[in-house]
Amino acid sequence: MAKKVYSWIILVFLCPILLLGTQKSKKAYELIYQDVQILKMKILELEKQSKKNQEDIIYIKKHLDEIHELMNLIRNEQANLIEEQEKIPAQYQVLLEKFDTLTSSLAEIAEDLIEIKQSTASIPQMAEEIPPDEIKDESAQGSTAEQQETTLEESAPKTQLDPNLSPQEVYNLARSDYLKGNFQLAIEGFTIYIEHFPESPLADNALYWIGECYFSQENFEEAIKKFNVLILSYPEGDKIPAAHLKKGICLMKTGKEEEALAVFKLLISKFPLEEEARIAQEKIKEIQSRILQ
């Protein structure tokens, strides 16, 4: 009997303990279950975020491809632009050649008009000439025709124009003297041309070649004066770039390098596509290297 009572007492004490252990196990299971559910939710959220990130990556990749295509298009356009820019000097040269042809044609027309004008002007001059038989000076009656011609030649100005020569012939003779190295004769010939045909399209060219003659004679100060007159009188002439270049070189020759730099820079800014501009850049480098030494 005592054993049964003792067993019941033990059961009474063990039941709460067992029940408490069961409840604790149940709570632990519930906590684990809740954690699993939370983990599942987080995994779902991560999957959603991953899916969204993949969509963003696809979207970014698509835009990168578009940007890449756009960059290729820009590169192609730049290449085409560079190619077109390279063609510009050739096109410009063609235009210059056409312009030179038109200028030559205009010069020929102007010279024909000048010849006609001179021919019509010489008619009244011939009518006003005094016949030889009206000369009353007895001392001159015994002179020969050769002596009279000599007297006329001595009294004539040095820049007298030969009426038998056309404007183009006067210009060509002066140019021929320059090419032969007869610079003083060339200066006189070009001066005659400018004095008698100031409206000719080749008047600015004649003035330029006078400057070249002085340059060849190493008379740089006089050459600068002529180039200045050309630049001021014919600002649209085709010899202006060459005049700027030779003026700058004359200044270099006379030791005025700062002034020469200013002239070369002006030439490059006004005529960047001309060959003279390229030579001017080389002259600038030459001066600068000399200054740095």
Structure tokens at 162: 């030969």
Residue 75 lies in a domain: yes
Mind listing the pLDDT tens digit for each residue in 135-156? 334 334 444 334 433 333 333 3
Mind listing the pLDDT tens digit for each residue in 256-287? 999 999 999 999 999 999 999 999 999 999 99
The Cα angle at residue 186 between residues 180 and 189, in degrees rounded to 5: 140
Residue 81 lies in a domain: yes
What pLDDT, on the 0 to 100 scale, is given for residue 56? Answer: 80
Residue 26 lies in a domain: yes
List CB contacts of 92: < 8 A, sequence separation 6 or more.
273
- Range name among 55-64, 101-110, 229-238, 273-282 with the lowest pLDDT average: 101-110
Residue 280 lies in a domain: no
What pLDDT, on the 0 to 100 scale, is given for residue 62? Answer: 79
Residue 227 lies in a domain: no
**Per-residue DSSP letter, 35:** H
Output phi, psi for 258, to 5 deg.
-65, -45
What pLDDT, on the 0 to 100 scale, is given for residue 116? Answer: 56
Residue 207 lies in a domain: no
* Buried/exposed code over 35-70 (b: 16+ C-beta within 10 A; e: otherwise): eeeeeeeeeeeeeeeeeeeeeeeeeeeeeeeeeeee
Mind listing the pLDDT tens digit for each residue in 154-184? 333 445 666 678 889 999 999 999 999 999 9
**pTM of the prediction?**
0.49
Range of the domain at 77: 10-90
How many structural domains are present in the chain? 1
* Buried/exposed code over 258-282 (b: 16+ C-beta within 10 A; e: otherwise): ebbbebbeebbeebeebebbebbee
